[in-house]
Amino acid sequence: MTALPTQAYWIAFNKVAGIGPARLTALLDICGSVEAAWKASIQQLQAAHLDKRTLENLLLARRQFDLAAEWQRVRQAGVTVLTWDDAAYPTNLRETDAAPPVLYVRGQLRDEDILAVALVGTRRASAYGREVTHMAATEFAHNNITVVSGLALGIDTMAHHAALEAGGRTIAVLGSGVDQIYPPQNRELGDAIMKHGALVSEYPLGTRPEANNFPPRNRIISGLSRGVIIVEASQRSGALITAEFAAEQGRDVFAVPGSILHPGSAGCNDLIRQGATPFLSVNDVLDQLNFATLTTQAQVRQNTPVDPLEAQIMTILAQEAQHIDELVRRMALPSGQVGSLLTLLELKGMVRQVGGMIYTIRT
């Protein structure tokens, strides 16, 4: 019998009701691997403190779920599965709490997508909202910034269209399986996004676009991005959920100011009153998010891979911050050479100095 790839076990857990990031982490801590967790004994499952209903769901899934068939289904659909174990899992999203253990991807995620901004807003966009969205997405694309949104009608649709028209990259996060493009009016747009970006979802293939799927997916929109711009939103708009997730994730939140007479701007104006940064220009966003420095760091990392000595420094600093003299002692290298290595790692954005020649890993 052919051994199953590790992704098949991740997919299996993703289909078990009640197994989210926290419970899966507990199982992995106890069992050591996702395959071992799927095959865990009752005692191990109980040690992970699964509640009765979740335990019953998992035991039933292990009896009924055909891992090989589901994995074959994913492969035939041309879908990429990314998990916590994969180096290609998006860096921005990995840094957030409760990042989804599994991402289904149609299209391609790239390293440069670390420079990403979310543009979201109401489905009932005004002419003003559409114009601002088109301008912003176009300028972000011209600055090689990936535009992230949710493929909904209105602001989201305009954001994806404008980014593509400007020759940029865009990512759409779905509240359904990536094989269930919703709304139907955007199927052609979804196909275009797959060629110049990606469709992304945490939901298994075949998942229909049910209403309760959309609020959770908003944390992925904000998690994939360095900053979130709410273009137009009423006081009950789902876009405000994205703003809440962004704030919890430590992302910068921007809101487009609008007329106090227009209900569609009430949510944005309220966000500004609560402390969101007014969106006045794309350059302001680029400056606030420090994208110029991030671009330089990405270029340096790409052009100068980590060598063994750099890796040694990273291993030492992973334990705790160190003074440069301690690094010199432990590496048995001249101080000038260690200093040069640290400078290069700083340029790459991998370490930072916290004062007094003490260095730590940049998180």
Model pLDDT for residues 8-63, shown as the tens digit of each residue: 999 999 999 899 999 999 999 999 999 999 999 999 998 988 889 999 999 999 99
Q: Is 199 within 8 Å of 10 (Cβ atoms)?
A: no
Q: Does the structure show a pLDDT above 70 at 7? A: yes
Residues 285 and 310 occupy one common structural domain: no
Picking from 83-87, 134-138, 222-226, which range would have the lowest pLDDT averaged per residue?
A: 83-87
What pTM, to 2 d.p., does this model score?
Answer: 0.80
Residues 40 and 127 occupy one common structural domain: no
Q: For the beta carbon of residue 51, count every other beta carbon within 10 angstroms.
A: 10
Residues 178 and 257 occupy one common structural domain: yes
Task: For Cα atoms 14, 20, 26, give the angle at the middle one, nearest 5 degrees.
Answer: 110
Residues 113 and 175 occupy one common structural domain: yes
The one-letter amino acid code at 253 reads V
Q: What's the rounded Cα separation, in Å, for the pair 44 and 207?
A: 30
Q: Is the dihedral of CA 242, 246, 251, 255 positive or negative?
A: positive
Residue 296 inside a domain? The answer is: no
Residue 283 inside a domain? The answer is: yes
Residue 155 inside a domain? The answer is: yes
Look at residues 257, 289, 321 and tell me which one is the last residue of a structural domain: 289
Find the mean pLDDT for residues 224-247: 94
Residue 299 inside a domain? The answer is: no
DSSP 8-state assignment for residue 236 = T
Report the Cα 116 to chain-centroid distance in Å. Answer: 10
Q: What's the rounded Cα separation, in Å, for the pair 257 and 279?
A: 7
Question: How many residues appear in the chain?
Answer: 363
Q: What percent of the chain has pLDDT over 70?
A: 95
Residue 29 inside a domain? The answer is: yes
What six digits make up the tokens of 253?
Answer: 């939140």
Residues 161 and 196 occupy one common structural domain: yes
Look at residues 237, 262, 289 and tell me which one is the last residue of a structural domain: 289
Residues 312 and 185 occupy one common structural domain: no
Q: Does the structure show a pLDDT above 90 at 175? A: yes
Task: For Cα atoms 109, 113, 116, give the angle at the middle one, nearest 5 degrees.
Answer: 135
Structural domain boundaries enclosing 270: 107-289
Q: What's the rounded Cα separation, in Å, for the pair 121 and 129?
A: 8
Residue 197 inside a domain? The answer is: yes
The CATH code of the domain that includes 333 is 1.10.10.10
* pLDDT higher at 347 or 84: 84
Residue 92 inside a domain? The answer is: no
Residue with tokens 């593509």: 164
Residues 308 and 277 occupy one common structural domain: no
Residues 245 and 164 occupy one common structural domain: yes
Model pLDDT for residues 301-358, shown as the tens digit of each residue: 555 556 788 888 988 887 788 999 999 999 999 988 998 888 888 877 778 887 788 8
Q: Does the structure show a pLDDT above 90 at 86? A: no
Report the Cα 17 to chain-centroid distance in Å. Answer: 22
Find the mean pLDDT for residues 253-268: 94
DSSP 8-state assignment for residue 3 = P
Helix (H, G, I), strand (E, B) or coil at 269: helix
Q: How far is CA 255 from CA 40, 133, 227, 356, in A?
A: 47, 12, 11, 39
Residues 115 and 239 occupy one common structural domain: yes
Model pLDDT for residues 140-152, shown as the tens digit of each residue: 999 999 999 999 9
pLDDT recorded at residue 336: 87
DSSP 8-state assignment for residue 26 = H
Residue 282 inside a domain? The answer is: yes
Number of helices followed by number of strands (H, E) in the chain: 18, 12
Look at residues 260, 289, 318 and tell me which one is the last residue of a structural domain: 289
Residues 132 and 175 occupy one common structural domain: yes
Q: Which residues contact 242 (CB under 8 A, 6 or more apart)?
A: 118, 120, 218, 219, 221, 222, 228, 230
The CATH code of the domain that includes 229 is 3.40.50.450
Q: What's the rounded Cα separation, in Å, for the pair 126 and 271?
A: 19
Q: What's the domain count of the chain?
A: 3
Residues 120 and 263 occupy one common structural domain: yes
DSSP 8-state assignment for residue 196 = S
Residues 62 and 127 occupy one common structural domain: no
The pairing of strands 197-201 and 170-173 is parallel
* pLDDT higher at 348 or 202: 202
Helix (H, G, I), strand (E, B) or coil at 200: strand
The one-letter amino acid code at 157 reads T
Q: Is 221 within 8 Å of 150 (Cβ atoms)?
A: yes
Model pLDDT for residues 281-302, shown as the tens digit of each residue: 999 999 999 886 666 555 555 5
